[in-house]
């Protein structure tokens, strides 16, 4: 075991502050990374403040962060994928059982015995896992991704959650050249969906409540922008979409978007409203439309996504902050006051 520097919440209302945590020394299949950048995901804020107490109660101290990019410093004797000096990345999971049907299918995100990157029982230490708001992390090599060398590292970090969360359903539902794709909500997830849709060759239409985001949506790769409060503008697209990705976490009218799908079209939710959404089933019956959800992606697909980003030079649009601004960043996140993701420069932790 060794001591690592970190930023942790010590209670739901404490905010985050500098602390020291214990991590395991790398065992034979482990990779140790010096963390260079860690993105800030909305889940980090929910977990730090114990807002998911019913489903995943927070154990304090809580060190969030599951959008991690780092430099390999040490590898175990059996590690094949990495050597010291390589870049590596870690997303939302750090382990799974590798034996269940989900793992065998490469869908570790649905493994009943997976280990999430933070606030999850840690098989090695007996405590909980600690995430990326830290100077280093030790992870089994299967859960460490290779990072294409041409990508900006600050903008690469958010690919590990926001990126794979949007890439995976687009691939699953067959988005390809010539598809018509809708993206509802232009935030951390939505802006990645626009970039991926564009790079896959789709015709991308952004739905937003904010007319001010129009120019930005076009810059990110959208072909059209529709102000979702304008019913006429929305209805002009009735029955025309192959796929719509909905990244809005607030309660909103889902039927509006169901009715924009063509035959066999799919609407996938990646935002998670706290309240149930009423779905008009008639909208699904006609044209055999489907309504579904999606959760991050498996390890193989996460690597595929990173490689795709390398080929198309795709990264998240980030505002880089020092770790000392983390509490301010959380407040700004609540107001959607960031274009489009915060990325923490972990060099700032060295001065603590
Ligand atoms: Zn996340
Ligand atoms: Zn499994």
Q: What is the pLDDT of residues 232-267, one digit of tens each?
A: 999 999 999 999 999 998 889 999 999 999 999 999
The Cα 69–Cα 35 span in angstroms is: 6
Question: What spacing in Å lies between the alpha carbon of 306 and ligand 2's midpoint?
Answer: 23
Strand partners for 73? none
Question: 235 C-alpha to center of ligand 1: Å?
Answer: 32
Tokens of 49: 């403040």
DSSP three-state, residue 243: strand
Ligand nearest to the CA of 117: 1
Please give the distance, rounded to the nearest whole angstrom, from the Cα atom of residue 165 to the centre of ligand 1.
8
The rounded Å distance from CA 209 to ligand 1 centre is 23
pLDDT of residue 273: 84
For 323-336, write each residue's pLDDT tens digit: 999 999 999 999 99
Over residues 175-227, the pLDDT tens digits come to: 999 999 999 999 999 999 999 999 999 999 999 998 999 999 999 999 999 99
Cβ atoms 119, 128 nearer than 8 A: yes
Record the tokens describing residue 86, joined without a space: 């390589």
Q: Compute the distance from residue 102 Cα to the ligand 2 centre, in Å.
A: 5
Q: How far apart are the CA of 105 and the centre of ligand 2, in A?
A: 9
Could you tell me the distance, in angstroms and rounded to a whole number, from the CA of residue 107 to the centre of ligand 2?
A: 8
Q: Express each pLDDT in 34-77 by its tens digit.
A: 999 999 999 999 999 999 998 899 999 999 999 999 999 999 99
Of the CA atoms within 13 Å of residue 98, those in its CB half-sphere come to 6
Q: Please give the pLDDT value at position 285.
A: 97
Question: How many angstroms is it from 14 CA to the middle of ligand 1?
Answer: 21
Ligand 1: distance of its center to the CA of 131 in Å? 11
Q: State how far the alpha carbon of 5 is from the alpha carbons of 24, 34, 56, in Å.
A: 13, 11, 25
* Strand runs labelled E in the chain: 2-9, 16-23, 30-39, 68-75, 87-90, 93-95, 115-116, 136-140, 180-184, 203-208, 224-227, 241-246, 261-269, 290-293, 318-322, 341-345
Question: How many whole angstroms from 299 Cα to the centroid of ligand 2?
Answer: 12
CA of 223 to the centre of ligand 1 (A): 27
Which tokens is 330 given? 């959380």
Separation of CA 42 and ligand 1 centre (Å): 6
Query: 295: CA distance to ligand 1 center in Å?
Result: 10
Measured in Å, residue 162 CA sits from the centre of ligand 1 at 6
Q: How remote is the CA of residue 99 from the centroid of ligand 2, in Å?
A: 5
Whose atoms come closest to the Cα of 103: which ligand?
Answer: 2
CA of 137 to the centre of ligand 2 (A): 22
- Ligand 2 centroid to residue 97 C-alpha, Å: 4
Number of CB atoms found within 10 A of residue 17's CB: 15
Q: Give me ligand 1 centre to Cα 93, in Å.
A: 10
pLDDT for res 271 = 86
Q: Read off the pLDDT band of 272 (50, 70, 90).
A: confident
- Please tell me the distance between residue 226's alpha carbon and the centre of ligand 2 in angstroms: 41
* C-alpha 91 to ligand 1 mean position (Å): 8
**Four-point Cα dihedral 92, 97, 103, 109, nearest 10:** -20
Average pLDDT over residues 262-280: 93
Q: How far is CA 197 from the centre of its chain?
A: 16
Length, in residues, of the chain: 352
Kindly report, residue by residue over 96-135, the tens digit of the pLDDT. Answer: 999 999 999 999 999 999 999 999 999 999 999 999 999 9
CA 335 to ligand 2 center in whole angstroms: 37
List Cα–Cα distances, 229 to 205, 207, 273, 334, in angstroms: 15, 9, 19, 22
351/59 Cα distance (integer angstroms): 27
Nearest to 185 by CA among 159, 172, 166, 168: 166
């Amino acid at each position: 075991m060794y001591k690592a520097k970190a930023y942790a919440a010590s209670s739901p209302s404490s905010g985050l502050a500098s602390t020291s945590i214990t991590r395991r020394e790398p065992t034979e299949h482990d990779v140790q990374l010096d963390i260079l950048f860690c993105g800030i995901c909305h889940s980090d804020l929910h977990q730090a403040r114990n807002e998911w107490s019913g489903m995943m109660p927070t154990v304090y101290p809580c060190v969030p962060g599951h959008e991690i990019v780092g430099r390999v410093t040490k590898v175990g004797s059996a590690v094949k994928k990495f050597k010291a000096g390589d870049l590596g990345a870690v997303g939302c999971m750090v382990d799974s059982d590798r034996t269940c049907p989900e793992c065998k299918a490469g869908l570790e995100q649905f493994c009943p015995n997976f280990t999430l990157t933070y606030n999850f029982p840690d098989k090695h230490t007996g405590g909980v896992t600690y995430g990326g708001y830290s100077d280093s992390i030790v992870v089994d090599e299967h859960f460490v991704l290779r990072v294409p060398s041409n990508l900006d590292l600050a903008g690469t970090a958010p690919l590990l959650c926001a990126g794979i969360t949007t890439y995976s359903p687009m691939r699953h539902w067959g988005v390809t050249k010539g598809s018509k794709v809708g993206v509802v909500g232009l935030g951390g997830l939505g802006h990645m969906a626009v970039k991926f849709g564009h790079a896959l060759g789709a015709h991308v239409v952004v739905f937003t409540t904010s007319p001010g985001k129009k120019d930005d949506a076009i810059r990110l790769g959208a072909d059209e922008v529709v102000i979702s409060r304008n019913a006429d503008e929305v209805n002009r697209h009735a029955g025309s979409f192959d796929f719509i990705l909905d990244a809005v976490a607030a309660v909103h009218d889902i039927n509006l978007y169901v009715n924009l799908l063509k035959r066999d079209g799919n609407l996938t939710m990646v935002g998670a409203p706290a309240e149930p959404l009423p779905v008009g089933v008639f909208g699904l019956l006609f044209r055999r439309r489907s309504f579904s959800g999606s959760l991050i992606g498996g390890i193989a697909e996460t690597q595929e996504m990173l490689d795709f980003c390398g080929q198309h030079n795709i990264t998240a649009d980030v505002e880089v902050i020092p770790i000392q601004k983390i509490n301010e960043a959380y407040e700004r996140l609540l107001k959607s006051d960031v274009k489009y993701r915060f990325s923490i420069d972990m060099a700032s932790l060295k001065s603590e």
